[in-house]
């Protein structure tokens, strides 16, 4: 029986004498248990029924985890801005001394960064999974009606951590439809359809970050308008007293130096977040393109209809 090591994914050919036993992988030297082969699948018109496995959305990150990371990161950052004197009197004031808006802007920024970080980890996982060899030569050089079942069984025996990847699921579904229909064109249509679905999912996964990009500078602008309104309403002087007029305009000038700080902070944070978003989106697009290319170059050329013997 051909299996993959659950630790290093090395292909191992296990004799039946080792079923149910714990053995040591000759590649990574770690122990793994050898389970007996599953019972033969039920068939419909001579073809096995494949039940697949439960899939999750490959593009979406854990929303709660991203929220918690954002909260912790923003708290650490704001703590440094407030409690470290050299920072407090340089750039820290714009974060912690301009009211609640600066705090919210910082929190939204780090929440967005956390989403992009988790998204980046998912992209790297998909890239690693795309390097798996799903067509071992000991099964066959081509995929036809006599070997497609063995290739599918090989995929079903892979570790669960690898079966969650886009690449493995695409190949499995394409092989299953080829097994059921014996049609290379239908398998190609399915691959193209899955590619479009994955691209849409990936694009939707950045929606929350794009909302933050809009919300952060808007919050700064709203805070600036409120501060200007308060500053204007507090301005009072005696028109007949030059000293009163001078004092009033001095207070106005001093206030104008800080009322635009929330807008400035919002623009700066949204600019950095936009830059990070562009980098992760580029990496995501490159990963999906790589998976599309591998599916087209590694699977489709191997699909062959079983030649019928002459009568």
The residue with greater pLDDT, 160 or 169, is 169
> How many secondary structure helices (H) and strands (E) does the chain include?
11, 6
CA 65 – CA 140 distance, rounded (Å):
44
Instruction: State the Cα angle at 124 between 120 and 127, rounded to 5°.
Output: 140
Q: pLDDT band at residue 47, thresholds of 50, 70 and 90?
A: low
Q: How far is CA 310 from CA 37, 191, 307, in A?
A: 36, 32, 9
Q: Above 60 in pLDDT, residue 40?
A: no
Q: DSSP letter for 8, please.
A: T
Average pLDDT over residues 241-262: 65
SS3 state at 131? coil
Q: pLDDT band at residue 297, thresholds of 50, 70 and 90?
A: confident
Average pLDDT, the chain: 82
Q: pLDDT band at residue 284, thresholds of 50, 70 and 90?
A: very high
Among 12, 10, 34, 30, smallest CA distance to 22 is for 34
The DSSP bridge pattern shows strands 22-24 and 43-44 to be: unpaired
Query: Could you tell me the residue ranges of all domains in the chain?
Result: 63-306
Contacting residues for 136 by C-beta, under 8 A, at least 6 apart: 2, 11, 154
Q: Above 50 in pLDDT, residue 311?
A: no
**Which residues on adjacent β-strands are paired with residue 32?**
23
What phi, psi does 169 have (nearest 5°)?
-65, -40
Contacting residues for 43 by C-beta, under 8 A, at least 6 apart: 49
Q: Out of 54-58, 146-150, 157-161, pick the least confident.
A: 54-58
Q: pLDDT band at residue 246, thresholds of 50, 70 and 90?
A: low
The DSSP bridge pattern shows strands 43-44 and 2-4 to be: unpaired
Chain Cα centroid distance, residue 46: 40
| CA dihedral of residues 212, 215, 220, 221 (deg, nearest 10) | 150
* pLDDT given at position 257: 65
CA 15 – CA 34 distance, rounded (Å):
10
**Which residues on adjacent β-strands are paired with residue 80?**
none
Chain Cα centroid distance, residue 86: 37
**Which residues on adjacent β-strands are paired with residue 283?**
none
The residue with greater pLDDT, 5 or 165, is 165
* pLDDT given at position 179: 87
Q: How far is CA 287 from CA 151, 175, 296, in A?
A: 24, 22, 14
| Cβ neighbours of 104 (radius 10 Å) | 18
């Amino acid at each position: 029986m051909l299996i993959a090591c659950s630790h290093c994914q090395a292909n191992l050919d296990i004799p039946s004498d080792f079923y149910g036993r714990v053995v040591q992988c000759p590649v990574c030297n770690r122990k793994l248990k050898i389970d007996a082969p599953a019972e033969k699948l039920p068939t419909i018109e001579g073809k096995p029924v494949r039940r697949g496995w439960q899939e999750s959305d490959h593009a979406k990150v854990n929303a709660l985890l991203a929220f918690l990371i954002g909260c912790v990161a923003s708290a650490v950052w704001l703590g440094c801005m407030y409690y470290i004197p050299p920072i407090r009197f340089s750039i820290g004031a714009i974060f912690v001394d301009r009211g609640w808006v600066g705090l919210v802007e910082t929190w939204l920024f780090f929440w967005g960064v956390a989403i992009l970080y988790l998204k980046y980890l998912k992209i790297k996982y998909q890239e690693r999974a795309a390097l798996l060899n799903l067509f071992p030569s000991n099964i066959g050089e081509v995929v036809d009606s006599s070997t497609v079942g063995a290739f599918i069984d090989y995929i079903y025996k892979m570790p669960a951590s690898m079966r969650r990847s886009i690449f493995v699921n695409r190949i499995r579904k394409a092989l299953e439809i080829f097994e059921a229909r014996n049609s290379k064109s239908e398998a190609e249509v399915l691959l193209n359809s899955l590619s479009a679905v994955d691209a849409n999912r990936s694009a939707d996964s950045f929606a929350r970050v794009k909302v933050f990009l809009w919300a952060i500078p808007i919050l700064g602008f709203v805070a600036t308008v409120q501060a200007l309104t308060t500053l204007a309403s507090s301005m009072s002087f005696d028109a007949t007293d030059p000293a009163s007029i001078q004092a009033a305009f001095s207070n106005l000038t001093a206030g104008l130096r800080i009322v635009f700080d929330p807008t400035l902070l919002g623009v700066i944070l949204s600019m950095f977040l936009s830059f990070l978003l562009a980098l992760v989106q580029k990496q995501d697009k490159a990963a999906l393109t790589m998976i599309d290319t591998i599916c087209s170059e590694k699977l489709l050329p191997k699909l062959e209809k079983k030649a019928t013997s002459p009568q």
